Structure 1
Amino acid sequence: MIALRLSYFSFLVSFLVTSLTTLNAQDTPNLELGGALRFNYNLSTWKDGQIDRGGDFGYDIFRVNAKAAYKGVKLNAEYRLYSEDFGGGMLKEGWVEYDFDEKNNIQIGLTQVPFGITQYNSHNWFFSINYYVGLEDDHDMGIKYTHMSKNFDFAVAFFKNAEEYRFGSFSDHSDSRYSYDLASKDLDGDGVLDFRNKEVNQLNAQFLYKRSLGRFDHKIGISLQGGGVYNLDTKDTGWHYAFAPHYEMIFERLDLIFQISHYKISPEAPEGEQENIVAMTAYGFPYFVTSNATTYTVGISYDFPIDWGPISGIQVYNDFGYMDKSFDDFSDTFMNVTGALVTAGNVYTYIDFATGQHMPWLNDDFNNSLAEGSIAGDQWQLRFNINFGYYFSSGSILSKESIRREKEKRDQE
C-alpha cells in the first residue's frame, strides 16, 4: 500500500514537471498582494466577567495574501497573524499551481482538502461542526488534481501529512495552526503528552454533479477520504476514514446546503490509552474529540441587494449542525448560528447569534465538549459575536524586470 501511494505521488510530480516544460504560457510575471485587518466583539452567557463588562472588543487577525503567476505557474499563499493566545502567526494555505487549460489544474503545497461542500460548508463566521473535527476548510501538505466542466467536477489528492512545522523524528505537532488536525494533548496533567498521533499518507476523492433546471442550480456530490494515523509512542500506523454525501441548491439569491459526514479514527495507541477519543489542535490549544461520529449539517442563506450609503448587500443565514457520537455514554453536540453578513465597500461584518450544547467555544468546557461532554455542556449557551474587517488588494503588480522587458519589446516593434 505504501509503495502504491509513493508511485502515485511520483507519477503526479513527473506529470507536473513534464507539463511545465512542454506547455507555453504568459511571459510577463505579475504579482497581486492583499490582506485584511479584522476585529471581534463577543458576549458569552457563560462568562460572568464578560457579562459584567458588557462584552469584550479586540483584535482578531491581520493577514497577508499573495498571488503570483509567471509562464503559467501560479502561487497562492495566505499568512495569518492572530493574538498569542490564539496561536500567533501561521500559514493558512500556500501552494504552487499549474493550469493545463480552463478545466484542469494541479496544486502542490498546503492546499485545501477536497472534502464536502467547498470552499465552506457554512455561511457564518464560526463555520460548522465539521470544521472543528477537521472536515471543513482543512488544509494539508500534498498534491491535488482538479477537473471542472459544465456538469461534472472532480478532484483527487494525496496528502503526505498535515501542515508540519517541526521535523524531528518524533516531534509533536505545533498547536499554532489554522486547520484542526490530529495532535497531542496531556490527559492527566503530569506534563507528559498523550494521544500523540499524526495524519499520514491520506488519499481524497471528491465528485460533483451539477445541473440547472429552470432557475434552480443543483450540485450533488460525494467525498471520500482515507489514510494512516502514525502514533509517536508506539511507532505504529493505524488508520482513519471519512465520507460525505452533500447537496447544494441555488435559486436566484437563495442558497441551501446539506451534508452528512461520517468519520472514524483508529490509531495504534499505547496499551491502556482510551480508544474512543483522540486529540486535535488549532489556534494554539488542543482538545479531545470522539474518534467515531456522524455529523449532520444544514444551512440556508438569502442575499438582499441594498443601497444604503456604503452598504451594498446583506446576507441573512441560519446554519445548524448535529454530531451523533457513536458511543452511548457520550453526549451529542448541537450547534446553531443565526446571523447576517453586511457588505459595505471593502468592509465585511458578520453579526452572529451562536448557540450550542457540548460545543467548544460555546461553553466553559473546551477540552471535552466534542468528546464525552460534561455537565458544563449540558446547558445551552449563547455567544453574541460581531466580526468586522477591512479587506484590501493591490491588484496586479508587474515586476520591474517584466516592465523593462515589455518596454524593450515595444521599442523593438
Structure 2
Amino acid sequence: MKYSLPIILLLFTILPFSIQAQDKPELHVGGALRFNYNYSNWKEGHKKRGGDFGYDVFRINAQAKYKGVKLDAEYRLYSTPFGGGMLKQGWLAYDFSQNDEIQLGLTQVPFGITQYNSHNWFFSINYYVGLEDDHDMGFKYSHQGEHWDFDLAFFKNAEEMNFGSYSDASYSRYSYDVTSFRDAAGNYSYRNKETNTVNGRLKYKATTGEVKHEFGISGQYGGIYNLDTENMGDHYAFALHYEMNYKRFNIKSQFAQYEYHTAGPDTESKDLIAMGAYGAPYFVAAAANLYTFGVSYTQPVSWGPVSSLQFYNDFGYMDKAVASFTDTYQNTTGVLVTAGNVYTYIDLAGGKNQPWLGPDFNEGLGEGNPDADYTFRFNINVGYYF
C-alpha cells in the first residue's frame, strides 16, 4: 500500500492529456463571515454579564476547473485561541464519467451520513471523536448510481503541518483527529498519530411514494503510530445509518462503533487516547458505541428577507466500553433562519460530559465525571455567506 499515493499522483499528471481540452478555466470564489453569541450556564462570568458576543470565523472558498481537473478548497481563520488559520479541505479531482470521480488531497472521509450527520451548528457527538465531517490526507474514489453509491479511500494520515520524525500533531485543525495531549505545563503525553487508514462506504437509495430512503454501511481500519515507543497500534470504526426525507421532514439516524489499540508507554492508559482540534486537545475513551438520532422540519415563510425556518432536534449518546467510565450525552434543539445570504443558527445545546457543553473539557469524553450535572449552552451563530 505504500506505493498507492505516488501512483495516484502520477495518474493526476497523465489524465488531463487524455481528455478533451476545456477552452476556458473556471473559477468561483466565495466565503463567509460569522459571529457568535454564547451563554453557558456553568460559567459564572456568563451569568453575571449575560454571555459573550464576538468573532467566530472568516473563511474563503475556491472552486476551479480546467482541462478536466477540478479544485475545491476552504481556508478558515479563527481567533488564535481556537487554532488560528487552518485548511478545512483542499483537494484535486478528476471525473472519469458523470458517475465516477477520484479526489486527491485533504478530502472528506467517507463514513456514516455525509456531509453532516446532524442539523445544528454543534454537529452530532460523532464529530467530537472524529467520525463526522472528518477530513484527512489521501485519495478517494466515489461512484454514484441510480440506487447504489460507494466510496473507497486510502488516507496516508490526518492533516499534517509538521514533517519531523517525532513531531506532535498540530491542534490547529478543523477535524478532530488523534493527537498528543499537552498539559498546562506544556508537557506532552499520549503521543499518537493516525496513519495508513483504509475506508469504505456503501449506501442504497430508494423512493416509495413521497418518501426517500438511504441505507448505508461504513467501515475503516488503519494504524496508530506512537512517537515515544515508535511502535504501531491500530484502530477501526464501523457504522450503520438510515436517512429519510418526506416532504419537509428529514430524519438522520446512525449507530457507530470504534476502537483504538495504542502502542504507547506502559505508564499510559490503553483505555484513553488524545484528540485535538481548534487549538486544544482532550482525552477520549479508546472504545465506545455511538447512537445518534435527529429530525428536522423546514417551513417556508415570507417575512421580509426571511425565507425559511428549519426546526430540529439532534440527540447523541456515547456508551463507553470501560464500565468505570461515565457516558456522554448531547442534545441540541434549535432553528436555522435563512434570510438571503444570512444563515442564523439559534441553538439550545445541553450535555453531560460533553467538552464543549460543560466544565469537564479534558476528561468529559474520556473517563468522564460521575458527578457531572446536565449543563446548557444557549448559542446564536450569525453568518453571511457569499
Same topology, TM > 0.5: yes
Contact 1:87 1:175 in 2 (8 A): yes
Of Structure 1 and Structure 2, the greater helix share is in 1
Could you tell me how far 1:26 is from its partner in structure 2? 1.9
Counterpart residue type for residue 58 of structure 1? G
Counterpart residue type for residue 384 of structure 2? Y
Counterpart check, 1:40 vs 2:40:
no
- 2:114 corresponds, among 118, 130, 144, to 118
| Alignment match, 1:361 | 356
Contact 2:182 2:281 in 1 (8 A): no
Contact 1:16 1:106 in 2 (8 A): no
Counterpart residue type for residue 77 of structure 1? A
- Partners of 1:336 and 1:262 lie apart in 2 by 19
| Alignment match, 2:78 | 82
| Alignment match, 1:406 | none
Q: Check 1:190–1:285 CA distance in 2 against 1; reply closer, same or farther (3 A cut).
A: closer
Relative to the length of structure 2, the TM-score reads 0.98
State the Cα RMSD in Å.
1.2
Counterpart check, 1:303 vs 2:303:
no
| Alignment match, 2:374 | 380
Mean CA deviation greater in 58-67 or 20-29:
20-29
Counterpart check, 1:314 vs 2:317:
no
- 2:143 corresponds, among 129, 147, 169, to 147
User: Aligned with 1:6: secondary structure?
Assistant: coil
| Alignment match, 2:171 | 175
Q: Deviations over 1:80-105 (max 9, x none)?
A: 00011111110100001111121011
| Alignment match, 2:51 | 55
Could you tell me how far 1:14 is from its partner in structure 2? 4.6
Could you tell me how far 1:136 is from its partner in structure 2? 0.2
Q: Deviations over 1:171-205 (max 9, x none)?
A: 00111100001001146x56431000000000000
Contact 2:226 2:264 in 1 (8 A): yes
Relative to the length of structure 1, the TM-score reads 0.91
Which stretches of structure 1, 4 residues or more, deviate above 6 A after TM superposition?
none
Contact 2:326 2:370 in 1 (8 A): no
User: Aligned with 1:31: secondary structure?
Assistant: strand
Q: Deviations over 1:291-320 (max 9, x none)?
A: 000000000001101111100101000000
- Partners of 2:306 and 2:169 lie apart in 1 by 43
| Alignment match, 1:229 | 224
Aligned residues: 386
Paired-residue identity, %: 58
Q: Deviations over 1:131-182 (max 9, x none)?
A: 0000000000000010001101100000000000011111001111000010
- Partners of 2:263 and 2:375 lie apart in 1 by 36
- 2:96 corresponds, among 100, 108, 116, to 100
User: Aligned with 1:19: secondary structure?
Assistant: helix
Listed as ranges, the gaps of 5+ residues in structure 1 are 393-413
Contact 1:106 1:143 in 2 (8 A): yes
- Partners of 1:383 and 1:166 lie apart in 2 by 35
Listed as ranges, the gaps of 5+ residues in structure 2 are none
Q: Deviations over 1:91-138 (max 9, x none)?
A: 100001111121011110000000000000000000000000000000
Q: Deviations over 1:212-244 (max 9, x none)?
A: 111000000000101000000001111000000
- Partners of 1:40 and 1:25 lie apart in 2 by 45
- Partners of 1:332 and 1:154 lie apart in 2 by 33
Please identify the structure whose Cα radius of gyration is greater: 1
| Alignment match, 1:389 | 383
- Partners of 2:145 and 2:90 lie apart in 1 by 25
Which structure 2 residues correspond to residues 143-222 of structure 1 after superposition, within 5 A?
143-186=139-182, 191-222=186-217
Could you tell me how far 1:9 is from its partner in structure 2? 4.0
- Partners of 2:352 and 2:165 lie apart in 1 by 39
User: Aligned with 2:238: secondary structure?
Assistant: strand
| Alignment match, 2:324 | 329
Could you tell me how far 1:21 is from its partner in structure 2? 2.4
Contact 1:338 1:352 in 2 (8 A): yes
- Partners of 2:108 and 2:296 lie apart in 1 by 24
